[in-house]
Amino acid sequence: MIDFLIVGNGLAGISFAEIALQNNKSVFVFDNNSQPSSRVAGGLYNPVVLKRFSEVWKAKEQIDFAFPLYHNIQTKLDVVFDFEMPILRKLFSIEEQNNWFQAADKPNLAPFLDSKLVTNSYESIASPFHYGKVNHTGYLEISILIGAYSNYLKSLNSFSDDAFVYDEIEFLDGFIQYKNIKARHIIFAEGFGLHANPYFNDLPLDGTKGELLIIKAPKLQLDVVVKSSVFILPIGKDLYKVGATYDWSDKTNKPTEAGKQELVEKLSELISCDFEIIKHFAGVRPTVKDRRPLVGTHPIHSQLHVLNGLGTRGVMLGPYLANQLFQHIENSIPLEKEIDITRCYKKNRN
Protein backbone atom coordinates (compact mmCIF):
# COMPACT_ATOMS: atom_id res chain seq x y z
CA MET A 1 0.00 0.00 0.00
CA ILE A 2 1.24 3.50 -0.81
CA ASP A 3 0.70 6.55 1.33
CA PHE A 4 -0.29 9.10 -1.33
CA LEU A 5 -1.72 8.73 -4.81
CA ILE A 6 -1.25 12.18 -6.40
CA VAL A 7 -3.29 13.28 -9.41
CA GLY A 8 -1.52 16.10 -11.24
CA ASN A 9 2.14 16.64 -12.02
CA GLY A 10 2.44 20.43 -12.02
CA LEU A 11 3.94 22.63 -9.32
CA ALA A 12 1.37 21.56 -6.70
CA GLY A 13 1.67 17.82 -7.34
CA ILE A 14 5.46 17.84 -7.52
CA SER A 15 5.71 19.90 -4.33
CA PHE A 16 3.48 17.49 -2.43
CA ALA A 17 5.33 14.44 -3.79
CA GLU A 18 8.72 15.84 -2.78
CA ILE A 19 7.55 16.74 0.74
CA ALA A 20 6.03 13.28 1.18
CA LEU A 21 9.21 11.54 -0.02
CA GLN A 22 11.37 13.70 2.25
CA ASN A 23 9.20 12.45 5.11
CA ASN A 24 9.72 8.80 4.11
CA LYS A 25 6.23 8.40 2.67
CA SER A 26 5.49 6.54 -0.56
CA VAL A 27 3.83 8.21 -3.54
CA PHE A 28 2.43 7.39 -6.95
CA VAL A 29 1.78 10.25 -9.38
CA PHE A 30 -0.63 10.38 -12.29
CA ASP A 31 0.40 13.07 -14.76
CA ASN A 32 -3.24 13.23 -15.91
CA ASN A 33 -2.45 16.22 -18.18
CA SER A 34 -5.84 17.59 -17.24
CA GLN A 35 -4.57 21.14 -17.32
CA PRO A 36 -1.15 22.19 -18.61
CA SER A 37 -1.03 25.60 -16.91
CA SER A 38 2.22 24.80 -15.05
CA ARG A 39 3.93 23.86 -18.30
CA VAL A 40 3.06 27.08 -20.08
CA ALA A 41 3.43 29.46 -17.12
CA GLY A 42 5.94 32.27 -17.24
CA GLY A 43 7.48 30.86 -14.06
CA LEU A 44 8.17 34.26 -12.51
CA TYR A 45 8.37 34.54 -8.75
CA ASN A 46 7.94 37.90 -7.10
CA PRO A 47 6.93 38.68 -3.48
CA VAL A 48 5.33 42.04 -4.32
CA VAL A 49 2.12 43.08 -6.08
CA LEU A 50 3.72 45.61 -8.41
CA LYS A 51 0.49 47.29 -9.43
CA ARG A 52 -0.07 48.54 -5.88
CA PHE A 53 3.39 48.10 -4.30
CA SER A 54 1.97 45.77 -1.67
CA GLU A 55 3.20 42.49 -0.21
CA VAL A 56 1.96 39.18 -1.55
CA TRP A 57 0.04 37.20 1.09
CA LYS A 58 2.51 35.30 3.32
CA ALA A 59 5.37 36.22 0.98
CA LYS A 60 8.20 35.65 3.46
CA GLU A 61 6.80 32.32 4.66
CA GLN A 62 6.35 31.15 1.08
CA ILE A 63 9.91 32.10 0.07
CA ASP A 64 11.44 30.59 3.20
CA PHE A 65 9.82 27.23 2.45
CA ALA A 66 9.74 27.07 -1.34
CA PHE A 67 13.33 27.74 -2.32
CA PRO A 68 15.09 25.29 -0.01
CA LEU A 69 12.70 22.69 -1.46
CA TYR A 70 13.49 23.65 -5.06
CA HIS A 71 17.22 23.77 -4.39
CA ASN A 72 17.06 20.34 -2.78
CA ILE A 73 15.38 18.99 -5.95
CA GLN A 74 18.05 20.65 -8.11
CA THR A 75 20.83 19.02 -6.08
CA LYS A 76 19.14 15.62 -5.94
CA LEU A 77 18.38 15.49 -9.66
CA ASP A 78 21.52 17.33 -10.82
CA VAL A 79 19.48 19.84 -12.80
CA VAL A 80 19.06 23.63 -12.78
CA PHE A 81 15.64 25.22 -13.19
CA ASP A 82 15.76 28.13 -10.70
CA PHE A 83 17.24 31.30 -12.16
CA GLU A 84 17.51 34.25 -9.77
CA MET A 85 17.07 37.57 -11.54
CA PRO A 86 16.01 41.06 -10.37
CA ILE A 87 12.70 42.49 -11.50
CA LEU A 88 12.74 46.15 -12.46
CA ARG A 89 9.38 47.88 -12.29
CA LYS A 90 9.31 50.74 -14.78
CA LEU A 91 8.05 53.90 -13.04
CA PHE A 92 5.88 56.38 -14.91
CA SER A 93 5.83 59.57 -12.82
CA ILE A 94 7.23 61.43 -9.85
CA GLU A 95 4.14 60.30 -7.95
CA GLU A 96 4.98 56.64 -8.64
CA GLN A 97 8.54 57.26 -7.49
CA ASN A 98 7.23 58.69 -4.22
CA ASN A 99 4.86 55.75 -3.80
CA TRP A 100 7.79 53.39 -4.33
CA PHE A 101 9.88 55.13 -1.64
CA GLN A 102 6.97 55.02 0.81
CA ALA A 103 6.43 51.31 0.18
CA ALA A 104 10.15 50.53 0.50
CA ASP A 105 10.11 52.16 3.96
CA LYS A 106 7.45 49.76 5.27
CA PRO A 107 8.95 47.01 7.48
CA ASN A 108 7.15 44.18 5.66
CA LEU A 109 8.27 45.41 2.22
CA ALA A 110 11.79 46.65 3.03
CA PRO A 111 13.39 43.21 2.41
CA PHE A 112 11.85 43.10 -1.06
CA LEU A 113 11.87 46.68 -2.42
CA ASP A 114 15.19 48.43 -3.00
CA SER A 115 15.03 51.97 -1.63
CA LYS A 116 17.40 53.27 -4.31
CA LEU A 117 16.01 53.66 -7.83
CA VAL A 118 17.78 51.92 -10.70
CA THR A 119 18.87 54.51 -13.26
CA ASN A 120 20.33 52.05 -15.79
CA SER A 121 19.54 53.05 -19.32
CA TYR A 122 18.45 50.22 -21.59
CA GLU A 123 18.82 51.43 -25.15
CA SER A 124 15.51 50.07 -26.40
CA ILE A 125 13.37 51.17 -23.41
CA ALA A 126 12.63 54.81 -22.59
CA SER A 127 12.53 55.21 -18.80
CA PRO A 128 12.74 58.89 -17.77
CA PHE A 129 11.45 58.09 -14.28
CA HIS A 130 13.77 55.09 -13.86
CA TYR A 131 12.97 51.73 -12.24
CA GLY A 132 12.19 50.28 -8.84
CA LYS A 133 14.11 47.09 -8.12
CA VAL A 134 12.49 44.06 -6.47
CA ASN A 135 14.71 41.60 -4.61
CA HIS A 136 14.22 37.84 -4.01
CA THR A 137 12.90 37.42 -7.55
CA GLY A 138 13.57 35.30 -10.62
CA TYR A 139 11.97 32.52 -12.57
CA LEU A 140 11.65 28.75 -12.69
CA GLU A 141 11.98 27.00 -16.02
CA ILE A 142 9.02 24.86 -15.06
CA SER A 143 9.23 22.55 -18.07
CA ILE A 144 12.73 21.50 -16.93
CA LEU A 145 11.46 20.83 -13.39
CA ILE A 146 8.49 18.79 -14.61
CA GLY A 147 10.59 16.77 -17.07
CA ALA A 148 13.32 15.99 -14.55
CA TYR A 149 10.91 15.15 -11.74
CA SER A 150 8.80 12.93 -14.00
CA ASN A 151 11.90 10.94 -14.94
CA TYR A 152 12.83 10.68 -11.26
CA LEU A 153 9.38 9.32 -10.37
CA LYS A 154 9.59 6.86 -13.27
CA SER A 155 12.89 5.60 -11.84
CA LEU A 156 10.98 4.85 -8.62
CA ASN A 157 8.18 3.12 -10.58
CA SER A 158 5.92 5.81 -9.14
CA PHE A 159 4.60 7.56 -12.24
CA SER A 160 1.94 7.07 -14.88
CA ASP A 161 1.02 9.05 -18.00
CA ASP A 162 -2.46 7.54 -17.99
CA ALA A 163 -5.51 9.70 -17.46
CA PHE A 164 -7.05 9.29 -14.03
CA VAL A 165 -10.53 7.71 -14.06
CA TYR A 166 -12.58 8.96 -11.11
CA ASP A 167 -15.17 6.17 -11.42
CA GLU A 168 -12.50 3.58 -10.61
CA ILE A 169 -12.02 4.81 -7.03
CA GLU A 170 -13.22 2.24 -4.48
CA PHE A 171 -13.61 3.30 -0.85
CA LEU A 172 -12.62 0.39 1.39
CA ASP A 173 -12.00 0.06 5.11
CA GLY A 174 -9.12 2.42 5.90
CA PHE A 175 -7.81 2.77 2.36
CA ILE A 176 -8.69 3.42 -1.27
CA GLN A 177 -8.37 1.00 -4.15
CA TYR A 178 -7.70 2.50 -7.57
CA LYS A 179 -7.30 -0.23 -10.20
CA ASN A 180 -4.27 -2.20 -8.89
CA ILE A 181 -3.14 0.54 -6.47
CA LYS A 182 -3.99 0.65 -2.78
CA ALA A 183 -3.48 4.06 -1.16
CA ARG A 184 -4.12 5.71 2.18
CA HIS A 185 -4.93 9.06 0.55
CA ILE A 186 -5.52 10.69 -2.83
CA ILE A 187 -4.27 14.24 -3.45
CA PHE A 188 -5.99 16.03 -6.33
CA ALA A 189 -3.62 18.69 -7.71
CA GLU A 190 -5.17 19.15 -11.14
CA GLY A 191 -5.28 22.91 -11.66
CA PHE A 192 -8.21 24.03 -13.79
CA GLY A 193 -8.87 20.35 -14.56
CA LEU A 194 -10.59 20.19 -11.16
CA HIS A 195 -13.82 21.05 -12.99
CA ALA A 196 -13.94 17.44 -14.27
CA ASN A 197 -13.47 16.03 -10.76
CA PRO A 198 -16.83 14.83 -9.37
CA TYR A 199 -15.60 15.04 -5.77
CA PHE A 200 -14.43 18.66 -5.80
CA ASN A 201 -16.08 20.32 -8.82
CA ASP A 202 -18.44 22.20 -6.50
CA LEU A 203 -15.54 24.37 -5.30
CA PRO A 204 -15.45 27.94 -6.68
CA LEU A 205 -12.46 27.47 -8.98
CA ASP A 206 -12.82 30.17 -11.59
CA GLY A 207 -9.89 30.05 -14.00
CA THR A 208 -8.16 32.90 -15.81
CA LYS A 209 -6.68 32.34 -19.24
CA GLY A 210 -3.21 33.72 -19.84
CA GLU A 211 -1.34 34.01 -23.11
CA LEU A 212 2.43 34.47 -23.52
CA LEU A 213 4.90 35.00 -26.33
CA ILE A 214 8.50 33.99 -26.80
CA ILE A 215 10.23 36.60 -28.92
CA LYS A 216 13.69 37.01 -30.40
CA ALA A 217 15.11 40.52 -30.04
CA PRO A 218 18.92 40.71 -30.52
CA LYS A 219 19.04 44.46 -29.87
CA LEU A 220 17.06 44.36 -26.61
CA GLN A 221 20.05 43.22 -24.52
CA LEU A 222 18.27 42.79 -21.17
CA ASP A 223 19.83 40.96 -18.22
CA VAL A 224 16.90 41.66 -15.85
CA VAL A 225 13.13 41.20 -15.90
CA VAL A 226 11.37 44.43 -16.84
CA LYS A 227 7.77 44.85 -15.64
CA SER A 228 5.48 47.42 -17.14
CA SER A 229 2.08 46.76 -18.76
CA VAL A 230 3.71 43.42 -19.68
CA PHE A 231 6.75 41.62 -18.32
CA ILE A 232 9.84 40.91 -20.43
CA LEU A 233 11.85 37.96 -19.14
CA PRO A 234 15.24 37.12 -20.71
CA ILE A 235 15.77 33.37 -21.14
CA GLY A 236 19.05 33.43 -23.10
CA LYS A 237 20.21 33.54 -26.74
CA ASP A 238 18.35 36.83 -27.36
CA LEU A 239 15.06 35.10 -26.47
CA TYR A 240 12.50 36.62 -24.09
CA LYS A 241 9.19 35.54 -22.58
CA VAL A 242 6.56 38.28 -22.82
CA GLY A 243 3.31 38.14 -20.89
CA ALA A 244 0.72 37.97 -19.87
CA THR A 245 -2.91 38.46 -20.77
CA TYR A 246 -5.88 37.95 -18.44
CA ASP A 247 -9.12 36.59 -19.88
CA TRP A 248 -11.89 35.57 -17.48
CA SER A 249 -14.33 34.22 -20.08
CA ASP A 250 -12.31 31.95 -22.41
CA LYS A 251 -11.49 28.70 -20.59
CA THR A 252 -9.53 27.02 -23.40
CA ASN A 253 -5.78 26.49 -23.79
CA LYS A 254 -5.85 27.66 -27.40
CA PRO A 255 -3.78 30.78 -28.25
CA THR A 256 -5.86 33.55 -29.81
CA GLU A 257 -5.12 36.27 -32.34
CA ALA A 258 -6.63 38.82 -29.93
CA GLY A 259 -4.28 37.72 -27.14
CA LYS A 260 -1.28 37.92 -29.41
CA GLN A 261 -2.29 41.36 -30.65
CA GLU A 262 -2.70 42.65 -27.09
CA LEU A 263 0.79 41.48 -26.14
CA VAL A 264 2.35 42.84 -29.35
CA GLU A 265 0.73 46.27 -28.85
CA LYS A 266 1.84 46.56 -25.22
CA LEU A 267 5.34 45.32 -26.05
CA SER A 268 5.63 47.78 -28.94
CA GLU A 269 4.72 50.62 -26.57
CA LEU A 270 7.49 49.51 -24.19
CA ILE A 271 10.43 48.72 -26.50
CA SER A 272 11.70 50.47 -29.60
CA CYS A 273 13.72 47.66 -31.22
CA ASP A 274 12.55 45.03 -33.70
CA PHE A 275 11.45 41.61 -32.48
CA GLU A 276 10.32 38.33 -33.98
CA ILE A 277 7.61 36.11 -32.47
CA ILE A 278 9.03 32.61 -32.03
CA LYS A 279 6.20 30.99 -30.08
CA HIS A 280 2.73 31.83 -28.80
CA PHE A 281 1.09 29.74 -26.09
CA ALA A 282 -1.77 29.82 -23.59
CA GLY A 283 -3.10 28.15 -20.46
CA VAL A 284 -5.83 28.61 -17.87
CA ARG A 285 -4.56 29.57 -14.43
CA PRO A 286 -6.43 27.98 -11.52
CA THR A 287 -7.77 31.14 -9.89
CA VAL A 288 -10.41 31.59 -7.19
CA LYS A 289 -12.85 34.47 -6.78
CA ASP A 290 -11.74 35.26 -3.22
CA ARG A 291 -8.09 35.08 -4.33
CA ARG A 292 -7.21 32.39 -1.83
CA PRO A 293 -6.18 28.80 -2.62
CA LEU A 294 -8.36 25.72 -2.25
CA VAL A 295 -6.75 23.26 0.15
CA GLY A 296 -8.28 20.62 2.36
CA THR A 297 -10.17 17.37 2.83
CA HIS A 298 -13.44 16.24 1.30
CA PRO A 299 -16.34 16.74 3.75
CA ILE A 300 -17.53 13.12 3.34
CA HIS A 301 -14.56 11.10 2.04
CA SER A 302 -11.71 11.72 4.49
CA GLN A 303 -9.15 10.01 2.23
CA LEU A 304 -9.64 12.56 -0.57
CA HIS A 305 -7.84 15.90 -0.51
CA VAL A 306 -7.48 18.89 -2.81
CA LEU A 307 -4.47 21.14 -3.48
CA ASN A 308 -5.51 23.79 -5.94
CA GLY A 309 -6.16 27.47 -6.67
CA LEU A 310 -2.50 28.52 -6.93
CA GLY A 311 -3.45 31.24 -9.41
CA THR A 312 -0.67 33.37 -10.88
CA ARG A 313 1.82 32.73 -8.06
CA GLY A 314 2.20 28.98 -8.09
CA VAL A 315 6.00 29.00 -7.92
CA MET A 316 5.95 30.49 -4.42
CA LEU A 317 2.61 29.08 -3.25
CA GLY A 318 2.95 25.45 -4.37
CA PRO A 319 5.47 24.19 -1.80
CA TYR A 320 4.02 26.29 1.03
CA LEU A 321 0.50 24.96 0.49
CA ALA A 322 1.68 21.40 -0.13
CA ASN A 323 3.45 21.41 3.23
CA GLN A 324 0.36 22.72 4.98
CA LEU A 325 -1.76 19.95 3.49
CA PHE A 326 0.84 17.29 4.30
CA GLN A 327 1.06 18.44 7.95
CA HIS A 328 -2.74 18.58 8.13
CA ILE A 329 -3.11 14.97 6.93
CA GLU A 330 -0.20 13.41 8.77
CA ASN A 331 -0.07 15.43 11.99
CA SER A 332 -3.64 16.82 12.26
CA ILE A 333 -2.31 20.41 12.16
CA PRO A 334 -5.20 22.74 11.25
CA LEU A 335 -5.03 24.49 7.90
CA GLU A 336 -4.99 28.28 7.84
CA LYS A 337 -8.56 29.50 7.58
CA GLU A 338 -7.84 31.58 4.47
CA ILE A 339 -6.96 28.50 2.39
CA ASP A 340 -9.18 25.81 3.94
CA ILE A 341 -11.99 24.67 1.65
CA THR A 342 -14.34 24.51 4.63
CA ARG A 343 -14.83 28.26 4.05
CA CYS A 344 -16.49 27.40 0.73
CA TYR A 345 -18.76 24.71 2.15
CA LYS A 346 -19.84 27.05 4.94
CA LYS A 347 -20.83 29.67 2.35
CA ASN A 348 -22.79 27.03 0.43
CA ARG A 349 -24.76 26.14 3.54
CA ASN A 350 -25.60 29.74 4.43
DSSP, res 109: T
CA 228 to CA 238: how far, in whole Å? Answer: 20
The secondary structure of 203-226 as a DSSP string is: S-B--EEEEEEEEE-TTT--SSEE
Question: What is the number of alpha carbons within 13 Å of residue 119 lying toward its C-beta?
Answer: 1
Q: Which residues pair with 213 in a beta bridge?
A: 242, 280
Residues 6+ apart with CB under 8 A from 159: 9, 28, 29, 31, 150, 153
Measured in whole angstroms, the distance separating CA 327 from the mean position of its chain's CA atoms is: 21
The number of beta carbons lying within 10 Å of the beta carbon of residue 173 is 4
pLDDT along the chain (350 residues), means of 10: 96 97 98 64 90 92 97 98 96 97 96 94 93 96 94 97 95 94 97 94 92 96 95 96 93 94 97 97 90 95 96 93 98 96 71
Distance CA 82, CA 85 (A): 10
pLDDT given for residue 38 in this prediction: 56
Give the pLDDT score at 290: 86
Provide the pLDDT for residue 225. 96
Is 43 in contact with 141 (CB distance < 8 Å)?
yes
Is this prediction's pTM over 0.75? yes
- Report the pLDDT value the prediction gives residue 121, as an integer from 0 to 100: 83
Q: Could you tell me the domains of the chain?
A: 2-44+143-204+289-349 (3.50.50.60), 83-137+207-285 (3.30.9.10)
pLDDT at 349: 41
